Amino acid sequence: MSRVQTIRIGSDEADQRLDRWLKKRFPQLTQGAVEKMCRKGELRVDGGRVKANTRIETGQEVRVPPLPDAAPAPKTERPRITDSDAAMIEKAVIWKDQHIIALNKPPGLPSQGGSGQGDRHVDGLSEALKFGYKEKPKLVHRLDKDTSGILLLARTDRVARGLSEAFRHRDTRKIYWAAVAGVPSPKMGTVRYGLVKAPGHGRGGEGEKMIAVLPRDIDQTEGAKRATTDYAVLDNLAQRVSWCALVPITGRTHQLRAHMAELGHPIVGDGKYGGSGQENLGDGWGAQLGGEISRKLHLHARSLSFTHPVTKERITLTAPLPDHMKRTWKTLGWYENDVPADPFEEAI
């Protein structure tokens, strides 16, 4: 039997069910054993009683009671990465040193495995990113499957812990670019709607969606969490569509997508939060503009600034737009070099 353990949730482990997280960590546990520990109060999060389906968040501490020893795991071969996938993920590298690898993640590629995601994801493909190291690099944060842009991987456990702490304590600055329906007014502002998760329709929770909650109602809404997003309009085509910079001050699931939709300006190509039936200030089209504009999600993690956990340098990385957004920008007459790297600093 093991001893009582207290485990802190890392940023790459957050936003998943407690039972699934626990069984990944301790494969010898059955679902029945997890639920029994919850009923008896032996399994706790931040000192409180929990249920098996409680969702865990970055920085929380999980108390794990003594567990039976795991049986020796059978030797399994890691799935082979195809040459084309290896070439694709290597081509996505935009910066690296001895400690960190930065990718420009393509849209449509999940950050890691999960319900309905299959076996092809950044975490799995990172086997091709060892570059002479014995272990593959570790994800320290995530992007939604359909969101492109900068994604960091740590090449050692020490650096992974340092970067995770930086994200947890918001010592990073992420700026996203998005095309949104209509033109937000005012052209620069802050969204403070809380977010609460609505259950999905599938057995594994597929189809989950975040519902916006007015700030005054957050404390009275079970499961609601405060969320803050800064936005700035960089350019627009009449009142039809805008190029926006978005900064997530907090890091909730689907935060940028849900916040922009709640403002009435859903992100172009966002079928979950901006379907064509939704009324909004973009003349009621939802997030589809038609014509030559791609139906893919137009949300891109454009830049990321962070303090290097080893060298202590301030690093700022920029990721080029994916092909479908480049085509949209060309169609709308928008040029990347015509806008400031950080419009919020320009406004101060």
Reference 188, options 240, 229, 228, 231; nearest CA is 231
In the prediction, which pLDDT does 302 show? 98
Reference 296, options 114, 88, 145; nearest CA is 145
**Are the beta carbons of 191 and 257 closer than 8 angstroms?**
no
- Average pLDDT per consecutive 10 residues, the chain (348 residues; last block may be shorter): 85 82 87 91 93 90 86 60 94 97 97 71 94 94 95 93 88 95 95 88 63 94 94 94 96 94 93 64 51 87 96 97 96 94 80
In the prediction, which pLDDT does 284 show? 42
Q: Going by C-beta distance under 8 Å and a sequence separation of 6 or more, which residues neighbour residue 215?
A: 192, 193, 194, 226
Eight-class DSSP state of 338: G
In the prediction, which pLDDT does 111 show? 93
Reference 163, options 92, 95, 100; nearest CA is 100
Q: How far apart are CA 122 and CA 151, in angstroms?
A: 9
pTM of the complete model: 0.76
DSSP for 45-61, please give it.
Answer: ETTEE--TTPEE-TT-E
User: Is 144 assigned a catalytic role?
Assistant: yes
Catalytic residue among 144, 217, 230, 283: 144
DSSP for 157-199, please give it.
Answer: HHHHHHHHHHHHTT-EEEEEEEEEES--SSSEEEE--EEEEEP
Question: Is 82 in a helix, a strand, or coil?
Answer: coil
In the prediction, which pLDDT does 119 show? 73
In the prediction, which pLDDT does 78 show? 61
